[in-house]
């Protein structure tokens, strides 16, 4: 595992969230929900320091990582709030 450097683009591990307009591939399954509300909620969680650990590297070199802010797992928080669904790999949320 590798730590993420500041300003690195990442994909949160184990989740799929609604796409901001125009970013979804045609063959990709569309996740229902409000992409803007999901982004706003994530921003409210990340006002403090965010610590991420890289688990894998996705297409185009983007890191897939588990991230926490204030001891809150961001992937799990988005799932629990209804702003994302579990997908791609197993994720254990307390």
pTM: 0.79
CATH number where 77 lies? 2.40.50.90
Structural domain includes residue 28: yes
Distance between CA atoms of 59 and 31, rounded to whole angstroms? 20
Span of 3-12, 56-65, 72-81, 82-91 with lowest mean pLDDT: 3-12
Structural domain includes residue 91: no
Structure confidence at residue 79 (pLDDT): 94
Structural domain includes residue 58: yes
Q: For residue 39, give the nearest of 24, 23, 18, 62 by alpha carbon.
A: 18
Structural domain includes residue 44: yes
Q: Which domain holds residue 8?
A: 2-86
Structural domain includes residue 92: no
Sign of CA dihedral 52, 10, 13, 32: positive
Structure confidence at residue 21 (pLDDT): 61
Span 24-72, pLDDT tens digits: 454 455 566 788 888 899 999 998 889 998 898 887 788 899 999 999 9
Structural domain includes residue 93: no
The domain total for the chain is 1
Structure confidence at residue 13 (pLDDT): 92
Helix (H) or strand (E) holding 73: strand 72-73
Structural domain includes residue 51: yes
């Amino acid at each position: 595992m590798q730590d993420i450097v500041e300003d690195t683009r990442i994909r949160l591990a184990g989740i799929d969230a609604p796409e901001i307009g125009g970013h979804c591939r045609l063959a990709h399954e569309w996740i229902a929900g409000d992409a803007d509300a999901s982004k706003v909620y994530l921003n409210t969680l990340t006002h403090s320091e965010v610590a991420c650990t890289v688990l894998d590297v996705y297409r185009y070199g983007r890191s897939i990582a588990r991230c926490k802010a204030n001891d809150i797992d961001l992937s799990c928080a988005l799932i629990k709030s209804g702003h994302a669904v579990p997908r791609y790999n197993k994720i254990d949320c307390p």
